[in-house]
Amino acid sequence: MAKKSRMDTGKLGAWAFLVGIILAVVFAFVTYGTWLPWTLVVIGLVVGLLNITEGEVSPFLMAGTILVIVAAFGADVMGTIMYLQNILNNIMMLFVPATIIVALKSVFTMARN
């Protein structure tokens, strides 16, 4: 069986990211069960593991951290606009695990060197 190349895992990570964003936006407007948060967390883990290369770690961590902070504050401030608050909370459920995984990968890389 042939090994998967970086291109194949990159495509999977890119698709996971796109699907995660679409789910985060679409399910802000409908009710859902407890499966959506877990789905977004798993997709975030896949994005963090497969989609971010060594050269992208620093920009991703900066952008991911800012996005999580702004989404958290934005969800609090925009609480009166329920759909916007839901979108921001869903985006946080996607980006928090991805950012944690990339940060851990970065720390392990620094520790190894």
DSSP structural state of residue 30: S
CA dihedral 35, 36, 41, 47 (to 10 degrees): 120
**Cβ pair 89, 75 in contact under 8 A:** yes
**Cβ pair 101, 84 in contact under 8 A:** no
Q: Which two tokens stand for residue 52?
A: 């971010």
**Cβ pair 48, 17 in contact under 8 A:** no
pLDDT exceeds 90 at position 89 = yes
- Give the model confidence (pLDDT) of 40-82 as tens digits: 999 999 999 998 888 999 999 999 999 999 999 998 888 888 8
pTM: 0.85
b/e for 8-17, b at 16 or more Cβ within 10 A? eeeebbeebb
24: amino acid identity, one letter: A
